[in-house]
Amino acid sequence: MNAPKKKLKVATTSLAGCFGCHMSLLDIDERLFTLLEHIEFDRSPLTDIKTCSPDCDIGIIEGGLCNAENVHVLREFRDNCKILIAIGACAINGGLPAQRNHLPLTTILEEVYHTSPGLMNGMIPNDPELPLPLNKVHPIHEVVKIDYFMPGCPPSADTIWKVLTDLLAGKEPELGHGLMHYD
Amino acid sequence: MSQTFILDGKTISFADGQTIMQAATQAGVFIPHLCYHPDFKPHGSCKLCTVKVNGRQTASCTMRAIAGMVVESDTPEINAERLALTQMLFVEGNHFCPSCEQSGNCQLQATAYHLGMMSPHFDHFFPNRAVDASHPDVLLDFNRCILCSLCVRASRDVDGKNVFALSGRGIKTHLIVNAKSGQLADTNFTLDDKAAHVCPVGVILKKRRGFAVPIGERTYDKQPISATAKAVAEER
Q: Do B97 and A153 touch (CB under 8 A)?
A: yes
DSSP chain B: --EEEEETTEEEEE-TT-BHHHHHHHTT-----SS--TTS-----S-TTEEEETTEEEETTTSBP-TT-EEE-S-HHHHHHHHHHHHHHHHHTT--GGG-TTTTT-HHHHHHHHTT--S--SPP------EE--SSSEEEEGGG-----HHHHIIIIISS---EEEES-GGG-EEEESSTT--GGGS---TTSGGGG--SSSSEEETT-TTSS-TTSSHHHHS-TTHHHHHHHHH-
Identify all chain A residues contacting B112, using CB atoms and an 8 Å cutoff: 182
Q: Is residue A105 part of a domain?
A: no
| Contact predicate B120/B94, CB 8 Å | no
Structure confidence at residue A119 (pLDDT) = 86
Q: Is the pLDDT of residue A127 over 80?
A: yes
Tell me phi and psi for residue A179, to 5 degrees.
-100, -20
Q: What single DSSP character describes residue A147?
A: -
Structure confidence at residue B229 (pLDDT) = 80
Instruction: Provide the residue type at B74 as one letter.
Output: D
> In which domain, by residue range, is A160 found?
8-99+134-168
Q: Is residue A71 part of a domain?
A: yes
Identify all chain A residues contacting B90, using CB atoms and an 8 Å cutoff: 93
Q: Is the pLDDT of residue B186 over 80?
A: yes
User: Which tens digits make up the pLDDT trace of B118-132?
Assistant: 999 999 999 999 999
Residue B132, min C-alpha distance to chain A (Å)? 16
Best residue in A21, A93, A146, A179 to probe B by mutation, most B CBs within 10 Å?
A: A93
Q: Do A183 and B98 touch (CB under 8 A)?
A: yes
Q: What does the alpha-carbon distance between residue B210 and residue B122 come to, in Å, rounded to a whole number? A: 31
Residues whose CB is less than 8 angstroms from the CB of residue A173 and which lie 6 or more positions away in sequence, other chains included: A148, A162, A163, A166, A167
Domains (range + CATH), chain B? 3-74 (3.10.20.740), 102-220 (3.30.70.20)
Q: Is the pLDDT of residue A134 over 80?
A: yes
Structure confidence at residue A130 (pLDDT) = 95
Q: Is the pLDDT of residue B75 over 60?
A: yes
Number of domains in chain A: 1
Q: Is the pLDDT of residue B18 over 80?
A: yes
Q: Do B215 and A182 touch (CB under 8 A)?
A: no
ipTM of the complex: 0.93
Beta strands in chain A (DSSP E): 8-14, 39-41, 56-62, 65-67, 81-87, 133-138, 148-150
pTM (2 decimals)? 0.95
Identify all chain B residues contacting A141, using CB atoms and an 8 Å cutoff: 119-121
Which band of pLDDT confidence, cut at 50, 70 and 90, is reported for residue A3?
low
Structure confidence at residue B1 (pLDDT) = 53
Span of A84-98, B51-65, B111-125, B221-235 with lowest mean pLDDT: B221-235
Q: Is the pLDDT of residue B139 over 60?
A: yes
User: Which tens digits make up the pLDDT trace of A41-62?
Assistant: 999 999 999 999 999 999 999 9
CATH of the domain at A36: 3.40.50.700
Which band of pLDDT confidence, cut at 50, 70 and 90, is reported for residue A121?
confident
Which band of pLDDT confidence, cut at 50, 70 and 90, is reported for residue B91?
very high
Structure confidence at residue A40 (pLDDT) = 96
Structure confidence at residue B81 (pLDDT) = 98
Q: Is the pLDDT of residue A1 over 60?
A: no
Q: Is the pLDDT of residue B2 over 90?
A: no
Instruction: Report, as an integer, the average pLDDT of B73-96.
Output: 98
Residue A73, min C-alpha distance to chain B (Å)? 20
Q: What does the alpha-carbon distance between residue B30 and residue B20 come to, in Å, rounded to a whole number? A: 11
Q: Do B126 and A89 touch (CB under 8 A)?
A: no
β-pairing, A81-87 vs A133-138, is: unpaired
